[in-house]
Amino acid sequence: MPEPSAPAAARLRRPSWRDPRLGIGILLVAASVALGSWAVTNASDTVEVYRTHEPLSPGDPIEAADLEIVQVHVPDVDLYLTPDQGVPEDAVATRAVGPGELVPGTAVGTESQVEVRPISLPMSAALEAYLEKGSRVDLWVALPDPDGEGVAPVGPTQLLVGAVEVWDVHEDASLFAGADQVQVQVLIEVDDLPEVLDAISADAVITVVPLPGQADS
Per the document, the length of the chain is 217
What's the pLDDT score for residue 177? 55
Structural domain contains residue 1: no
**CATH assignment at residue 103:** 3.90.1210
Structural domain contains residue 42: no
Q: What is the DSSP string of 136-159?
A: EEEEEEEEEPTT--SSPPEEEEEE
What's the pLDDT score for residue 90? 92
Integer Cα distance of 90 and 95 in angstroms = 15
Structural domain contains residue 132: yes
120 and 182 within one domain: yes
Q: How many separate domains does the chain show?
A: 2
159 and 143 within one domain: yes
- Angle ∠(180,144,178) on CA atoms, nearest 5: 15
Strand-pairing partners, residue 68, are 51
141 and 79 within one domain: no
**Domain limits for position 79:** 47-112
Structural domain contains residue 121: yes
Indicate left, alpha or beta for 120 from its phi (over 0: left) and psi (-120 to 50: alpha): beta
Domain's final residue, options 61, 81, 112: 112
SS3 164: strand
What's the pLDDT score for residue 113? 93
Return mean pLDDT, the chain: 81
Segment 2-17 mean pLDDT = 53
Structural domain contains residue 8: no
The pLDDT tens digits of the residues spanning 37-54 come to 555 555 557 889 999 999
Segment 104-133 mean pLDDT = 91
78 and 161 within one domain: no
123 and 105 within one domain: no
149 and 124 within one domain: yes
Structural domain contains residue 24: no
Domain's final residue, options 89, 112, 135: 112
What's the pLDDT score for residue 119? 94
The pLDDT tens digits of the residues spanning 62-109 come to 999 999 999 988 778 889 999 999 999 999 999 889 899 999 999 999
Phi then psi for residue 163, to 5 deg, are 55, 50
The answer for residues whose C-beta is within 8 angstroms of residue 181's C-beta and 6 or more apart is 122, 123, 124, 125, 172
199 and 122 within one domain: yes
158 and 81 within one domain: no
The answer to whether the pTM exceeds 0.75 is no
Domain's final residue, options 94, 112, 130: 112
